[in-house]
Structure 1
């Protein structure tokens, strides 16, 4: 396998990925350049991955290529996953799919032997993707439990409330940055890299487990020492308020202990890099047509993202909002009444009138074009603050449509709020379904999505009577007809 040809092919793949999947790469770049971010080591890991690939090229320079066409299938499936993430503004899906797309191309062009050899490099890339944020809260919980136990061993009075540690000298909050996820991931990467290069068999697992244990203990020690420093300095020591460098200093000590203890994990003299590779799998399509196979795989893989980006260029003028059916009993009013605490919408519309004799206001928040941070389903979007909203079981209308119910308190008293998501021609209460429905709605040429909210003001302090009326057949039928009459309007 010619080394220059290999490097040229890999470089070409990276250039294609950069051009086609630039939005995804830009998201990762913005995360990696934030020095206080958990994944600030992203470019460092990319350099390690590049080193591994370079090393594997050297080792496989005499290996014959036997391209495998199934790599193209893997790339195409991953590209479809990327498309689903792009259409639903789910960055994580885009980022998870991207390395698989590239690895599939490698499998198509270079074959199983080389593709298997570079798997560690692609695994490293996944440590730069925010897959691991799910560990933040579990790590925080464990940290609080351990630190609380250690503090009590010193007979220091302590009170724990969730992630808040209170001692007589002051209060400490074990925030997300105190979970130790950043040092844990860095430790796993370093130990895994060392194990892959210099160890074999079960010793690789022992190496990683040892580093995981040291990283966890190191973070517990760090938080414990900060509490002690704050306690004995009466919260005057600057480390109490600025301890980022202190955390990395503790991690360096853990690394020194790690490399010292590695002496007791005796190797057999053969490094992981020297380990043999599996023979080529049957079913290779032959090196003579490798370039053609790669071209076909690349074209198929980039077709979904190219289509999505071309479609996205015109989304901003896809529609102008929504309109009600002519028979609806509601009439447009100036949009100056209460609206849900949503952000990023493109159009705000409100109608007022009667539904089955009950004064009502219908509010529509329409998203004509969605992107990350400007989307219908977003963690910061809600009807109202938690202390102002009391959520009730959903209400099933006469036509089978299910709407959410909440009692929302405001400056002018409480209101009964009925709501549903509208995505394309579909209604749903589920955040997940609202995300997924964006995929068929985009293919149907109706990319708009929105929140429909009907507000009924309670005349008394309690809304019990209003709740009973809202469950009546007349109200249910008229509300169902009103929501069914909602239509997107297009230019």
Structure 2
């Protein structure tokens, strides 16, 4: 009983520094971790393997601890990269860049370990902990690129056969047969993440050399993408041969996993060949002894205290991202030039409207120019003016977020980009969109009005949010104009709409948020 008690006390003494440091770290990053885990519960998405990967990571960490028997100490040099990772996490919180916060979680975990273990010991934990990066939902940003690559590869393969087809964006039209959409699920992202995870695990368990691990990882990436390209091509080809009656169209997910499983056979055959190579069979040299044992108990806990204070300070300094979300947005009461513009019924322009999530204030109106109406004929142009405003930036209610888009990529394709400048010099981004279904075109001009500054792209609009920390204004708005016409110069028409309405809109936005700020501080 006494021996067991001594062992238990020794275990508590060994893990206590790690519990304290990781407890302080999780105080800061827990909302982000909770968001990552919530994506693992969505079993129809690309990250449902997260729970399995977490279990594998825990097993590998325990395996590494038993093999390496690490001894904790204090390595102050690693406070620098740890502090830099904390700053990156804090910047992501200020800018509401969830992806930046998510991608720093794994480096923060490894950085905390490095402070207590040093490089010679922590490098054995890079793969056991780092493998979790393949379950962090930041890989969605590759999806659109992977979709386009898949379309290009299949366009090349279809060109080898006597098949009449056309490609527009992510749509493949088989002339006289039907159409296929290479959607998000057809990008191959799921196979890529699983393939990368398996390659990293195989390398950790079977390879000694870094070169073999990197080579096997790159081959796994290629095979994962190749499996998806073959899957999409077979489905399209069978749809052509069977006049869209093949069961593969309905069961394409199951078919895809069978193709991916078949691709693993040559992959692991290559892995076995690398494992039996002469370079891998050569025993590595003995690692240099670590000086951790010389670190005093007092020095260790001083390091734990210093490292733990850093995330706590960041947690205290960061502004709260919480905030009430309105069940429905309030209406912006704008007064446009009623003598020239008259309202039309609806808030869409030829089926288009921007996708904006949880705005606080909205003005969205279709109009027509009275001057374009002649005789009994209707208006030649349909116009759209939209303002989507957020009183302050907070979680799930911010101007630039994943769900906010100028157009739905599944329904619209950009044909041409251009610039629009108001008489006062305000720059706006212009784009002409064409509908996949109807072929109709709409011409848009838009800008982001953040804390009194104008930006034309989302990244700069995100960066402009930093100014709201030092400014009385915390508002951010999307201001967008649209024109739909069959026989007109769309760029000129939308430029004229901007010229006649933007000054009025800007003055009313400024007045509204100035009055709101003044009344809240009286």
Alignment counterpart, residue 391 of structure 2, candidates 368, 371, 376: 368
Q: Secondary structure at the match of 2:398?
A: coil
Shift of 1:470: 7.8
Whether 2:253 is the aligned partner of 1:244: answer yes
Query: Which residue of structure 1 aligns with residue 3 of structure 2?
Result: none
Alignment counterpart, residue 165 of structure 2, candidates 148, 159, 164: 159
Q: Deviations over 1:193-215 (max 9, x none)?
A: 21222212233233223333332
- Counting only pairs closer than 5 Å after superposition, residues 58-457 of structure 1 correspond to structure 2 as 58-61=66-69, 63-151=70-158, 153=160, 155-162=161-168, 163=170, 164=172, 166=174, 169-201=177-209, 202-265=211-274, 266-268=276-278, 277=287, 288-308=298-318, 311-313=320-322, 341=354, 342-348=356-362, 365-378=388-401, 380-382=404-406, 393-395=419-421, 398=424, 402=427, 420-444=447-471, 446-451=473-478
Q: Secondary structure at the match of 2:42?
A: coil
Shift of 1:368: 2.4
Alignment counterpart, residue 41 of structure 1, candidates 36, 49, 67: 49
The structure-2 alpha-carbon separation of the partners of 1:103 and 1:91, relative to structure 1 and needing over 3 Å to count, comes to same
**In 1: Cα distance, 2:125 partner to 2:389 partner:** 46
Q: Judge which range, 227-236 or 26-35, deviates more.
A: 227-236
> Contact conserved, 1:322 with 1:486, CA < 8 A, in 2?
no
Q: Judge which range, 379-388 or 49-58, deviates more.
A: 379-388
Q: Deviations over 1:262-293 (max 9, x none)?
A: 332224596899875566599x9865322222
Shift of 1:142: 4.1
**In 1: Cα distance, 2:449 partner to 2:197 partner:** 44
> Contact conserved, 1:222 with 1:250, CA < 8 A, in 2?
yes
**In 2: Cα distance, 1:476 partner to 1:222 partner:** 49
Shift of 1:441: 0.9
**In 1: Cα distance, 2:311 partner to 2:204 partner:** 30
Shift of 1:101: 1.9
Shift of 1:92: 0.6
Q: Deviations over 1:181-236 (max 9, x none)?
A: 22122122212221222212233233223333332332233223323443444433
**With CA pairs under 8 Å and 6+ residues apart, which has the higher RCO, 1 or 2?**
1
Q: Judge which range, 25-34 or 460-469, deviates more.
A: 460-469
Query: Which residue of structure 2 aligns with residue 355 of structure 1?
Result: none
**In 2: Cα distance, 1:50 partner to 1:239 partner:** 38
Shift of 1:165: 5.2
> Contact conserved, 2:24 with 2:311, CA < 8 A, in 1?
no
> Contact conserved, 1:401 with 1:480, CA < 8 A, in 2?
no
Structure 2 gap segments, 5+ residues each: 1-9, 365-383, 434-441
> Contact conserved, 2:321 with 2:394, CA < 8 A, in 1?
no
Shift of 1:250: 1.9
Question: TM-score by structure 2 length?
Answer: 0.70
Calculate the aligned-residue CA RMSD, in Å.
4.8
The structure-2 alpha-carbon separation of the partners of 1:373 and 1:238, relative to structure 1 and needing over 3 Å to count, comes to farther
Q: Judge which range, 388-397 or 46-55, deviates more.
A: 388-397
Shift of 1:246: 1.7
Shift of 1:161: 0.7
Q: Secondary structure at the match of 1:377?
A: coil
Q: Secondary structure at the match of 1:422?
A: strand
> Contact conserved, 2:446 with 2:480, CA < 8 A, in 1?
yes
Shift of 1:443: 4.9
Q: Deviations over 1:148-167 (max 9, x none)?
A: 554555x4424141431527
**In 2: Cα distance, 1:112 partner to 1:225 partner:** 48
> Contact conserved, 1:418 with 1:453, CA < 8 A, in 2?
yes
Shift of 1:24: 1.0
Shift of 1:365: 3.9
**In 1: Cα distance, 2:72 partner to 2:308 partner:** 18
Q: Secondary structure at the match of 2:318?
A: helix
Q: Deviations over 1:401-448 (max 9, x none)?
A: 54567999xxxxxx9998653333434334222211222313546433
Question: TM-score by structure 1 length?
Answer: 0.74
Q: Secondary structure at the match of 2:135?
A: coil
Shift of 1:93: 0.4
**In 1: Cα distance, 2:138 partner to 2:498 partner:** 43
Q: Deviations over 1:342-369 (max 9, x none)?
A: 442113479xxxxxxxxxx997543124
Shift of 1:479: 8.7
Shift of 1:118: 0.9
The structure-2 alpha-carbon separation of the partners of 1:316 and 1:168, relative to structure 1 and needing over 3 Å to count, comes to closer
Q: Secondary structure at the match of 1:291?
A: helix
Whether 2:33 is the aligned partner of 1:25: answer yes
**What is the number of residues matched between the two proteins?**
460
Shift of 1:130: 3.4
Shift of 1:304: 2.4
The structure-2 alpha-carbon separation of the partners of 1:445 and 1:193, relative to structure 1 and needing over 3 Å to count, comes to farther
Q: Secondary structure at the match of 2:474?
A: coil
Shift of 1:124: 0.9
> Contact conserved, 2:17 with 2:301, CA < 8 A, in 1?
no
Q: Judge which range, 32-41 or 201-210, deviates more.
A: 201-210
